[in-house]
Amino acid sequence: MENPNFLTALMQTWLIQYNQEQINPVTTIGLFHWDFRPNKRKPEKPRRIPRIDESLELKDLSFTHAVYFLEIDDKTLHVYESFGISLGGLNIAHEYVLEEDVFIKGKVLMKMIR
């Protein structure tokens, strides 16, 4: 798989580690940013909404697995994943931190079943 030119070295390292333990192939890869919206129940904690900036479709499959990156600093990545069939699936975002050349999965930033 040829990596798109918008991927940084940190993102490529994450993909190499991630693909070693993955069953479903990545079908789309890209970049995203967070939009924040007011939260009526908890005004002090705005809702995070991922917005896709740039993407590249790698494969056209009925079961999609899209991975989008947001690089926070030189050791921290936010990774937004969307996988499933067209009318059902899961969207989830995690924070990953690179420690001694291994990514450690941190907190869940957003999770939504569709």
Residues constituting the chain: 114
Are 95 and 78 spatial neighbours (Cβ–Cβ below 8 Å)? yes
Side chain identity at residue 1, one-letter code: M
Q: Can you give the residue ranges of every domain in the chain? A: 9-113
pLDDT digits (tens, 9 = 90+) for 27-77: 999 999 999 999 999 999 899 999 999 999 998 888 899 999 999 999 999
Side chain identity at residue 25, one-letter code: P
Average the pLDDT over 14-26 and give the result. 82
| pTM of the entire predicted model | 0.90
Question: β-strands 47-57, 64-71: how paired?
Answer: unpaired
pLDDT score for 86: 78
